[in-house]
Structure formats: C-alpha cells, structure tokens
C-alpha cells in the first residue's frame, strides 16, 4: 500500500517547543541533576534536542521496549528488549518518550522504573494523543497534544520508515486507484 506524509508540525514549531520544555525543566530542577531515560528508538531525536536545552547537569540512559512492529495498532504487549545500563537509585529521573497513545507502554514502564529506588520519576513526551488513551498515565511535560492520526518523523516511524524527517507528519494511506 502506498502512503504519503503531510506536515503537521514544522521543524521550527518542534524546535521552538523543545526549547521551551528544556527551559521549564531547567527551572523545575534548579540545583539538581536530571537523569534522562530515552525510550528507543522513537524518542532518540527528541531526547538529544531536549538534553541540549537543559542547563542543569544531565546524564542519559537508554532502554528499548517492544511496541508496534509493522502495524499501526498497539498490541498491548510490552517487553523489555534492552534494559538500562545504570541503576536509578536516588536519581531525578525523566522518562523521555516520543508519543503517548493508548498509554499501555508507559504505564507499564513507569511502574517498573518507579520500583527501582529513584528519588522521583517524571514523564516527558513530545506528542500526546489523549483521545486514544486506554490506560491512565500522568504526563508531566508534553510537547504537543495531537488528534488521533498516525504520525511520523522526528524519530517516529511507520514500519521503520520516516524517522529521519525533521518535522512531524501525518501518514495518509492512499487507496488503490479505482
Ligand atoms: P502506547 O503504548 O499505545 O501508548 O504506544 C506508545 C508507542 O506506540 C510509542 O512509543 C510509539 O512507538 C508507538 N506509536 C503510537 N502512536 C504512534 C504514531 O502515531 N506514530 C508512530 N508510532 C506510534
Ligand atoms: Mg515505534
């Protein structure tokens, strides 16, 4: 099936918003260090840009959980594919995600990370689709709330494609010619 991508949020809009979130985090964590936990692969572009905009000391770690595969619907099955390298004990953790959709991935992940002795665990997501929520998740920092559409770019993929787009786009699936 062919598909094409339409711009939803331009590169400038995304960059400006990430700058604002970075400033807000820098204010909220003044005098502390933050430990950013990136959920691979989608959040990697966001996390790098965000980290550059935070002025308090930052450390980074990465984890990978299974999500969509080649489909556009959440399976509800969450599996840790790659765990963190370092313990979270006494750290001020911010989990950095690309998008919160049903909330299944994050609710599982946050519960698991909160059991590891961090001082606190907050959630920062570039995108939020509140209309799609199945499991309640408290989001502390949100880039943009977006409508229920499948989006790509800035790290987000459709079947591993389009992660490298510098903007956020909506995927339109073209139906075959009649
Ligand atoms: P949730 O568990 O349903 O909240 O799904 C979260 C994960 O699903 C995200 O980290 C993404 O990997 C993926 N996902 C959800 N919506 C989209 C989308 O619109 N585009 C690309 N990936 C998405
Ligand atoms: Mg994905």
Of these residues, 71, 85, 101, 131, which one is catalytic?
Answer: 101
Q: 14-54: per-residue pLDDT in tens?
A: 999 999 999 999 999 999 999 999 999 999 999 999 999 99
Q: How far apart are CA 6 and CA 147, in angstroms?
A: 14
Tell me if 73 is assigned to some domain: yes
Which residues span the domain enclosing 45? 11-147
Mean pLDDT of the chain: 92
- The whole-angstrom separation of Cα 47 and Cα 43 is 6
Query: pLDDT-based confidence at 98, cuts 50/70/90?
Result: very high
CATH of the domain at 17: 3.40.50.2020
123 found inside a domain: yes
Q: Is residue 154 part of a domain?
A: no
Q: Where are the alpha helices (DSSP H) in the chain?
A: 11-28, 44-52, 104-114
Nearest CA to ligand 1 atom 9: 99
- pTM for the full predicted model: 0.92
Q: Is residue 77 pLDDT above 80, yes or no? A: no
Residue 61 known to be catalytic: no
The answer to whether residue 105 is domain-embedded is yes
Grade residue 70 by pLDDT with cuts at 50, 70 and 90: very low
CA atoms of 32 and 122, how far apart (whole Å):
14
User: DSSP string spanning 111-151?
Assistant: HHHHTT--SEEEEEEEEE-GGG-SS----SEEEEE--S--E
2 in any annotated domain: no
Q: Is residue 178's pLDDT more than 70?
A: no
Confidence class of residue 73 from pLDDT cuts 50, 70 and 90?
Answer: low
The CA distance from 160 to 49, in Å, is 21
Mean of pLDDT values over 61-75: 68
Domain count, the chain: 1
Going from the Cα of 90 to the center of ligand 1, the distance in angstroms, rounded, reads: 29
């Amino acid at each position: 099936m062919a598909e094409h991508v339409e711009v939803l949020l331009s590169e400038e809009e995304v960059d400006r918003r990430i700058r604002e979130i970075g400033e807000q985090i820098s204010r909220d964590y003044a005098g502390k260090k933050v430990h950013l936990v990136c959920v691979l692969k989608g959040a990697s572009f966001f996390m790098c840009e965000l980290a550059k905009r935070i002025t308090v000391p930052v450390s980074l770690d990465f984890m990978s959980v299974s999500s969509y595969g080649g489909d556009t619907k959440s399976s509800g099955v969450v599996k840790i594919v790659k765990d963190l390298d370092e313990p979270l004990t006494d750290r001020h953790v911010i989990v950095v995600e690309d998008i919160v959709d049903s909330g299944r991935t994050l609710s599982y992940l946050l519960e698991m990370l909160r059991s590891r002795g961090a001082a606190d665990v907050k959630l920062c997501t570039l995108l939020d689709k509140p209309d799609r929520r199945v499991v309640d998740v408290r989001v502390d920092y949100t880039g943009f709330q977006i409508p229920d559409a499948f989006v790509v770019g800035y790290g987000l993929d459709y079947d591993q494609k389009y992660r490298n787009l510098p903007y956020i786009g909506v995927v339109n699936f073209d139906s075959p010619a009649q």
